[in-house]
């Protein structure tokens, strides 16, 4: 049977939910860096955490890293060579870094407030300000980012500029996600807390050490990425015949070979804690953290060393002595 919600059990007590539990992971620190991927609802995050601080009588000071972004005209000049002009589809891969979006002098001016009990700097690239403190990284999978883009809730890294959804996605694909993936990979070994920010009112978090341990376990086991399904004019017939609910909700699916599962640009991994509540006969999922490409790259590096890959058509079979699983990918 095809599992629509594959996940990897990381052990009891590793994943927590809610702003109270999230705050517990870093309020021991006087300086907190809240970095993250594009698509995070930063205002909702700040509102939720500030409510916790006020309830606990903690004096906080907030700094927005967007205050150090380059002026809009300079950002446009930076990314324009990679966007393919007026072509609606084609562009080229961004060759710069996330730091290129910021004014170094302005970043230097973003400093903690010595009068506050806790100072927090937040936004995409917050770690570039160089604060010494607890590093919290908020992640959002790319399918959720696209939903938020279509709803007009998020935009590109220069958030002051409003674009239509197609133009926004094109720039994300060729520029923003390239820079953000690179930045996330650079932070991976330093992250103290990882947050799944798909549910703005109910963040899901785990310690960075537990995340890295989970990634290590995954490299020694068979795993699947979390699939997602997108309406479109072609493809998807095979999976619809086997998972009837997809046709009911989505109609035609724009999914090559069945689904977007281990697509090079949009993979998602799901980490679950399987816990058993008092009186329950069946274990239940108590938390999930969806991870995007930067961490999937880490998995693939070790995967090549530890698993034998057999390619057949458009399927990739990862074999261990005891297990075989097929991961459906595009472009193999």
Pick the closest to residue 195 from 9, 34, 54, 5 (CA basis).
34
Contact 99, 251 (CB under 8 A): no
Tell whether the model's pLDDT for residue 247 goes beyond 70: no
Neighbour-count burial of 252, counting CB atoms closer than 10 A to its CB (0-12 exposed, 13-18 middle, 19+ buried): middle
For the four alpha carbons of 156, 159, 163 and 165, in that order, the dihedral sign comes to: positive
Angle between helices 208-219 and 293-306 (to 10 degrees): 40
What pLDDT is recorded for position 317?
Answer: 28
What pLDDT is recorded for position 25?
Answer: 96
What pLDDT is recorded for position 165?
Answer: 87
112 in a structural domain? yes
The DSSP bridge partners found for residue 260 are 228
Number of structural domains (the chain) is: 1
- Band the pLDDT of 1: cuts 50, 70, 90: low
Return the exposure string of 75-111: e unless at least 16 CB atoms fall within 10 Å of the residue's CB, then b. beebbeebbeeeeeeebeebeeebeebbeeeebeebe
- Confidence (pTM): 0.78
Contact 7, 196 (CB under 8 A): no
75 in a structural domain? yes
Contact 9, 222 (CB under 8 A): no
Tell whether the model's pLDDT for residue 99 goes beyond 80: yes
Of 206-220, 271-285, 309-323, which has the strongest mean pLDDT?
Answer: 206-220
What pLDDT is recorded for position 58?
Answer: 97
250 in a structural domain? no
Q: Which residue has the higher pLDDT, 66 or 318?
A: 66
101 in a structural domain? yes
Q: What is the pLDDT of residues 107-155, one digit of tens each?
A: 999 999 999 999 999 999 999 999 999 999 999 888 888 888 988 889 9
Contact 224, 261 (CB under 8 A): yes
Q: Which residue has the higher pLDDT, 39 or 271?
A: 39
Residues above pLDDT 90, as percent of the chain? 44
Rounded to whole angstroms, the Cα distance separating 13 from 228 reads 27
The DSSP bridge partners found for residue 283 are none
321 in a structural domain? no
Across all residues in the chain, what is the average pLDDT?
76
246 in a structural domain? no
- Band the pLDDT of 88: cuts 50, 70, 90: confident
Pick the closest to residue 191 from 98, 294, 272 (CA basis).
294
318 in a structural domain? no
Tell whether the model's pLDDT for residue 224 goes beyond 70: yes
What tokens appear for 303 in the block? 């995967």
- Band the pLDDT of 295: cuts 50, 70, 90: very low
Contact 294, 228 (CB under 8 A): no
Q: Which residue range forms the structural domain that includes residue 82? A: 19-202
How many CA atoms lie less than 13 Å away from 272 in the CB half-sphere? 17
What pLDDT is recorded for position 251?
Answer: 54
φ/ψ of 10, rounded to 5, equals -105, 0
Q: Which residue has the higher pLDDT, 76 or 324?
A: 76
Angle between helices 293-306 and 177-187 (to 10 degrees): 60
What pLDDT is recorded for position 180?
Answer: 94
117 in a structural domain? yes
Residues in Cβ contact with 152 at an 8 Å cutoff, skipping those fewer than 6 apart? 165
Contact 210, 26 (CB under 8 A): no
CATH number at 116 reads 3.40.50
- What is the maximum span of the chain, computed from C-alpha positions, in angstroms? 62
């Amino acid at each position: 049977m095809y599992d629509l919600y594959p996940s990897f059990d990381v052990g009891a007590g590793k994943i927590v939910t809610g702003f109270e539990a999230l705050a517990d992971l870093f309020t021991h620190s006087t300086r907190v860096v809240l970095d993250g991927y594009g698509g995070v609802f930063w205002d909702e995050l700040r509102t939720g955490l500030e409510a916790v601080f006020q309830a606990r009588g903690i004096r906080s000071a907030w700094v927005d890293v967007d205050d150090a972004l380059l002026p809009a005209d300079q950002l446009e000049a930076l990314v324009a060579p990679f966007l393919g002009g007026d072509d609606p589809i084609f562009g080229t891969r961004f060759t710069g870094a996330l730091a290129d979006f910021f004014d170094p002098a302005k970043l230097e001016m973003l400093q903690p407030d010595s009068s506050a009990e806790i100072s927090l700097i937040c936004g995409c690239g917050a770690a570039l300000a160089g604060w010494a403190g607890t590093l919290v990284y908020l992640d959002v999978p790319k399918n959720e980012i696209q939903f938020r883009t279509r709803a007009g809730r998020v935009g590109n890294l220069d958030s002051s500029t409003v674009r239509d959804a197609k133009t926004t996605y094109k720039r994300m694909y060729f520029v923003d996600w390239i820079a953000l993936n690179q930045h996330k990979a650079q932070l991976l070994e330093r992250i103290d807390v990882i947050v799944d920010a798909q549910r703005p009112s109910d963040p899901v978090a785990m310690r960075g050490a537990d995340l890295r341990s989970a990634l290590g376990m995954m490299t020694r086991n068979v795993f699947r990425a979390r699939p997602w399904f997108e309406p479109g004019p072609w493809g998807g017939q095979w999976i619809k015949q086997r998972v009837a609910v997809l046709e009911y909700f989505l109609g035609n699916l724009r999914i090559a070979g069945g689904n977007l599962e281990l697509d090079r640009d949009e993979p998602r991994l799901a980490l679950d804690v399987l816990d058993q509540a008092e009186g329950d006969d069946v274990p239940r999922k108590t938390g999930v953290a969806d991870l995007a490409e930067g961490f999937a790259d880490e998995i693939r590096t070790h995967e090549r060393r530890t698993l034998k890959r057999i390619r057949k058509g458009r399927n990739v079979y990862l074999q261990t002595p005891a297990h075989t699983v097929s991961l459906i990918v595009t472009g193999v």
